[in-house]
Chain A
Amino acid sequence: MASALPEPARAEAPRRLPLRWPAELPGLAAAAAGLALLAVRGLVAAALGVELLAAAFWSWSRLGADRSEQLARWGWLRRPAMALWLASALALAVPTAPGGAPHGARTPAAIVHPEISAAAPLGQRDPLGPLRALEAAAVLWAGLELLGALPLSRPFPDLTGPLANAGPWLPAVLPAAGFLVLWRQAPIWLAAPWLREVAEALLLLAALLAVLRAWTRRSWTASLRWLAVFDSALAGLLVTLETVPPEIAFVLWFAAAGGRLIALGVEIRGASGRRGPRLASLWRAAGWTAGASLAWPLLVEAGFAGGRFRPLAFLLLGAPVLLAARLSLRRLVEAPERRALSRPDPARALSLAGALATLALGPIALLFAWWSGYEATFPGGAVALLPAVLGAWPQRRRAPGPEVPALVRASLAAGAPARELALAIWHFVIVLERRVAGALGRTLRALSTPARDLHTGDAQEYLLLLVGIAMLTLLLPLLR
């Protein structure tokens, strides 16, 4: 008897698919492990953490249709990882102090030669000083590059990440990773001479450029990514200046940059995170409060350290803080409520919780700072609030025509002519940096090209090379 099922029905019968995990899962696990390792003290953990983060981006970049572009876009993430590997290797090999033993390493007793390996006498130059400085510089490099404070990586927050559904959010993780490196490894890089000054200058420039770029972007998600860079750069400055205890700096950063990350995460799922006047206002207040809390101790330190007012430092730091405050308040556009009775929405609930946490954490951190002994002088403390307050100052609104969409209306309110100037400054800096980096790259390539020729000779040429080297070894001792 023939089968009861007709042929087409049999063909459509469900097949058992082999058990496969989602292709994004290995990257997700690597990124989570990487970020967790960055919060651990120790250079090896930090190096492994950044390596895993780079591996996660690589793994995700391979999955999309735009894989060539994404792989090229995020290849640079191995640079900070390599910098941290170098730093950890140097930490294992170089004694922490002149005459001391390497971190946790056994002393190589078999190779100790008293004449050579003795510590430098007091007052003389430390022969291992350059290596210690290199270790510190490598850590600083890794932190700054992840933060977008170095020329080669600066434009990354403009780009979307590799995953289709989380692409706009992923790049905002990188400044967080950069801050974690700077914060956790601060004892290493702050100990090196004049690296602190270099870090201050680079972080200030990064903060300024980030807020200018956030100002020029019309899209709120792109602006949020740049504001995350801005907040992380400010928090990095807080670590550099050692204004507040490191734990307080971390909480202030977490409130400001974490708030941006939550807002961005909610935003890419839709507008429900800012739907309704109350939620939108709450987010505005939260962004402003967290940013002002982060900037306040910095402005006090930069403008009023040592009991005297330093107008240039105050202005350099105050101007971006003002811009960021204005952006936090004016760029966020309230999404209209389309239903008479809103349905329960997990994204909305998450948004509400995130906004409340962001609102509360900054002031709480400052309260703890005060509790642990931090005090601001008068009138420095009051004046340091000015940039944030001025950023919140109500502005007389022009009345654009009804045909202008709400998004553009908000950006007009934020100051369109100023945006032109900000864009020009941004482009000037980026083009300049790219030209310098390009010239350096071309020089390096030109210098390394002859290395290829060492491999292209035939047997006779090898013999000539051998004779040449033999002559050199004969002559060298005679020349000494």
Chain B
Amino acid sequence: MSAATVPLFALALALGAALLLRLLDGRRPGVDGLFSALAWLALVPLAALAAWPQQATLTQAGLAVALVVALLARDREDLAQSEVALKLAWTLGGALALSWAGESLLATAAGSAVAREQWPALALQLDPYALWTSALALSLLAAVVLLGAAPFHFWLADVVQGARAWQAPLVAAGLQAAGAALLVRRLDGIADFDAGRSLARAVLGLAALLALVAGAATLATQRRPERRVGTLASLQGALVLASLAAFPGAPPFADEGAGALSGWAVHLALALSGAAALARFVPVDNRPAQGAAGLFRRHRLSAIAGAYALLSLAGVPGTPGARWWLAVARALVAAHRSGLVLALAFAWLVAFTVAVREIRSAFGSPEPAAPLPHATPLAARGALWCAAAGLLALIWRG
């Protein structure tokens, strides 16, 4: 398997995991049927967005948001999912509108809609400082919200908890990848424009600091496992912000080579597929001395496969997720941003601790006398294995 085919393979595995989980969903008249298969197919563009995020534009991000809202709002009887759809429509829709206004202002000020052509024009200082700085800050907003960086991390936790298990991972990963791509596209070429680079560095640094610290603090206080997975995904968004705050204009995770953004998004999709599926099987009550969760008693290997995905999402050493944390740390060190390195270290320690605590709690205490629990459905176990296989492939390909 060549490096170029890894995203394809991962994409297939993430979609396979979604399909297996879809098979578990109960059939309801009026909702399921042929249209149900179409709903699963609606995940394909989101998966493609995660595998090849470089192509995403503001319009495509808007279309992806619309698709997600339609997908979630499809089942009117499912109140939790409808609520998530409503929240996404409000927040992501509003953020996209504000960023669109910022983009338009920048285009008006610079006389071009292409980011790389805007900076030389702005460097001539023909426009008021306040105009382009405000426009630039506004144009970044949608990307920050789509990345799910705190204080906008709520939507990720809502999606993982409220949406169906087969939808949530690809919805979250697809939208986050779109957000990362929007940031890269917006900051393309800004390194040659000193004032713009300085402003982007300050704004992104502040956003990354807030995202890492607030995200980690929230993660430590989350009670439900699904919300913990969502908040871990929001820390992945914070990683992109921190990476760009180190060197605005350079691609994120630059020391991981070309296509690093795609690698990050693919990893996110796979890790979320496993971790979000696992979250449905671990106890909500996080007491260490309770009995083992059913999955962890009856199907230990499948549980370990799911746990591997959760650990990878948290960036635990030995998993593919750790490389993204390390890449960001190295970039921040190279940029001499010690404050952000400390925030990153804090977030990483909290993520690591929470993931290990959750797995320990799920393994629980052995109760040999207790009868074996019912078998976990094969399709759910298959989804966990799909995610773990994809992650192992990422490790194998380096």
The interface of chain A, by Cβ under 8 A from chain B, is 23, 44, 47, 58, 62-63, 67-68, 71-72, 75, 78, 82, 85-86, 88-90, 92-95, 102, 105-106, 108-113, 116-117, 127-128, 130-131, 134, 448-449, 451-452, 454-455, 457, 459-460, 462-463, 465-467, 469-470, 473-474, 476-478, 480
Contacts and interface: CB of A to CB of B under 8 A. Distances in A.
B385 interface: no
A478 B134 contact: yes
A466 B155 CA distance: 12
B360 A113 contact: no
Report whether over half of chain A's contact residues are helix, strand or loop; otherwise say mixed.
helix
Contacts of B364: 62
Nearest to B198: A480
Contacts of A89: 317, 325-326, 329, 345, 348
B255 A93 contact: no
Nearest to B292: A62
Contacts of B86: 459
Contacts of A463: 90-91, 94
Contact of B255 (A62, A110, A448, A460): A110
A466 B326 CA distance: 31
B104 to A, nearest CB: 15
A476 B151 contact: no
Contacts of B360: 58
A476 B137 contact: yes
28 contacts: A85-B352, A86-B345, A88-B317, A89-B317, A93-B326, A93-B341, A105-B330, A108-B330, A111-B247, A111-B255, A111-B331, A112-B334, A113-B250, A116-B336, A134-B345, A451-B221, A454-B153, A455-B222, A463-B94, A466-B94, A466-B98, A466-B145, A467-B94, A470-B141, A473-B141, A476-B137, A477-B134, A480-B133
What 8 A-B pairs come out closest when comparing CB atoms?
A: A108-B255, A477-B133, A110-B254, A93-B329, A473-B137, A451-B217, A68-B289, A62-B365
Contacts of A113: 247, 250, 334-335
Nearest to A83: B349
Contacts, number: 180
Contacts of B304: none
B248 to A, nearest CB: 10
Given A58-B360, A82-B353, A480-B202, A110 B214 contact: no
A112 B217 CA distance: 32
Interface residues of B, number: 70
Centre residue among A93, A116, A131 by max chain B CB count within 10 A = A93
B160 to A, nearest CB: 12
A469 B98 CA distance: 11
Given A90-B329, A93-B333, 17 more contacts: A44-B317, A63-B365, A67-B365, A75-B288, A86-B348, A89-B348, A110-B254, A451-B217, A451-B221, A454-B151, A459-B86, A460-B90, A463-B91, A465-B151, A473-B140, A477-B130, A478-B133
B227 interface: yes
A3 to B, nearest CB: 30
Contacts of A460: 90
B157 interface: yes
A449 B203 CA distance: 26
B138 interface: yes
A454 B214 contact: yes
A169 to B, nearest CB: 22
Nearest to A478: B130
A477 B137 contact: yes
A78 B350 CA distance: 12
Contacts of B80: none
Nearest to A460: B90
Contacts of A112: 334
Interface in B247-289: 247, 250-251, 254-255, 257, 288-289
Contacts of B246: 111
Contacts of B365: 62-63, 67, 71
